[in-house]
Amino acid sequence: MKNRKLDNYYFSIIFLFLFSFFSTLSAQVKTEEEKEERKIDIVHGGNFSKDDVKYPGESIFSKDGARQVQFLHQGVDLWCDVAVLNQKENKVRAFGNVRFNQGDTIRMNSDYLEYDGNTKFAYAYDNVRLTNLQTTLTTDTLYFDRNTQEAYYNSFGTVRDSANVLTSNKGRYFLERKKYQFLSDVKITNPEYVLNSAQLDYYTTTQHAYMYGPSTITGADYKVYCERGFYDTNNENGYFVKKSRIDYNNRIINGDSLYFNKVKDFASATNNIRVIDTINKGVIRGHYAEVYKLKDSVLITKRAVAVNLLEQDSIYIHGDTLMVTGKPDERIIRAFRGVKIYKTDLSGKSDSLHFDQRTGKIQLIGKPLGPNAESLRLSQRRLYNPVLWSGPNQMTGDSIHLINNIETEKLDSLKILNNALVMQKDTLSADGFNQVIGKDLFGKFIENELKVADVIKNTEVVYYMYNDANELIGINKSICSKINMTFLDSQIEDITFFTKPEGVIYPEKDLPPDARKLRGVVWREDEMIRSKDDIFDEDDNNIKLVKIRGVENPIDIDAEEFEKNKEKKETSSSDKKQEKKP
């Protein structure tokens, strides 16, 4: 029994020894195999020589005749005229007509190259050219890390593909992602445009560029600036954020984000946008805009306002939607739904507006009455009409025309067509109103103030008359075919009646309050626009801006899809070949 235990003990010792011996031997064999795998193999050495003074411990190989020296290392073929191989350190230096090929993906040529078989790192110098399926990179010095499959240069480099020439002071190429990262003074030259950027990522599969830092794209008829953006260099369309701006079709477009499509001659802007007309010096603001070059038009919505200069004073035009059309010398501004205008001495409201900048005419148009028009009282119908305030004067009618003198840039004249009404509060009475109604009104501005107005056809007047002591003489209530009014400091100074006037001057006590207002007259003081901020209503001021989609950490979906589809095709093709084998 005792001997059996002793035998088991010796057996365990021998087993552990043998296990340790073979494990060590296996590890040594494995290490030797790994070293053998890392070894740079000589495919063709050509002429062999040694120079222990210049290259101690190294072997020199040179081509024999036309055949170059050739090495092979883990999927890479290296050819050159002369090579110095350090077998101990597993490094090679290649001179003259160097070719460094990795499978069918990379072709690198240079005058000189160093390659470390242990780290799989290559350094190429002088007349370097790196070629893959889509692009060719030329530079003075190039570093290539086969482990990460990245190549980079820190001196000036040029990349060419089917459409573009790209240059930069520094650059890096990611082979697996088919992506170039260009740093410092980046430039893309295309037959149609030039792109400059501080930093740019470029995907060779799709020819898509992502810009970082100050960047400009300059085409024949456009210029883009941004500090973050995306551009499809092949199809000339892009998306830009951060201080973005487009100079396009005699306009400057600013916004939190901009989109541009050269092929469709289209641009759009989102959030805090501003479109400047460089010819007419007009500005349009809002939160969404579309620019169509072929139609020569701009459409703006979301707190939209157009600002135009009239005699060193701005006129503000607001509507739910603004549209600007026409060539620079024939611009037309149209405003739709909830239109309001403001100038320091003039304001108004209407359903829509038409402003012809060539003629200087602004037309305020009322809201359509609709199918129930016949059932509406005259006072209700007047609420559908546009309204204009000039000083204390309220003027309404079916349509109102303001005509500007395009040479002096001053208000020239006024037309109110159909159902014209001029109304103002009497300054001395508590609740009195001076009123004039007729078919049409024609007025004249002098130095931007309404000075004279003629009202024609079926005119009616209610007018409070005072003596020089500002004592009420009576209330004049008259009718005639035509009247002429003159204004002083925006107040009615004098009224002249033409063609068989009929009327009575009533003592105040003899004219009941309900008879002191003409038929259908409505005082719209609560709608008056007293500042440029009043052109916006509560909905405009509380509008919620859309969230801008940034261009952070770009993922080129098109490039990824391209590679996935390519892999599927290759897998499918490989499977079919396997099926054909016996």
Do the two domains 252-365+522-551 and 376-520 of this chain adopt the same fold?
Answer: yes
pLDDT digits (tens, 9 = 90+) for 424-440: 998 888 789 999 999 99
The token duo for 374 is 């016949």
CATH of domain 252-365+522-551: 2.60.450.10
Q: What is the pLDDT of residue 581?
A: 42
pLDDT digits (tens, 9 = 90+) for 541-562: 988 988 887 776 555 555 555 5
pLDDT digits (tens, 9 = 90+) for 193-242: 999 999 999 999 899 999 999 999 999 999 999 999 999 999 999 999 98
Task: Report d(CA 580, CA 571) in Å as an integer.
Answer: 14
Q: What is the pLDDT of residue 453?
A: 94
Identify which of 97-101, 104-108, 409-413, 454-458 has the greatest average pLDDT.
97-101
pLDDT higher than threshold 60 for residue 460: yes
Q: Is 409 exposed, middle or buried (0-12, 13-18, 19+ CB in 10 A)?
A: middle
pLDDT digits (tens, 9 = 90+) for 287-308: 999 999 888 899 999 999 999 8
Q: What is the pLDDT of residue 572?
A: 57
- Lowest mean pLDDT across 176-180, 319-323, 575-579: 575-579
Read off φ and ψ for residue 53, nearest 5 degrees.
-80, -50
CATH architecture of 376-520: Sandwich (2.60)
Q: What is the pLDDT of residue 384?
A: 86
- Single out the residue of 203, 186, 51, 157 nearest to residue 556, CA to CA: 203
pLDDT higher than threshold 70 for residue 421: yes
Confidence tier at 449 by pLDDT (50, 70, 90): confident
- For the question of whether the overall pTM of this predicted structure is more than 0.85, the answer is no
Task: Report d(CA 71, CA 76) in Å as an integer.
Answer: 8
Q: What is the pLDDT of residue 582?
A: 37
Domain ranges of the chain: 1-38, 40-107, 252-365+522-551, 376-520
Q: What is the pLDDT of residue 406?
A: 83
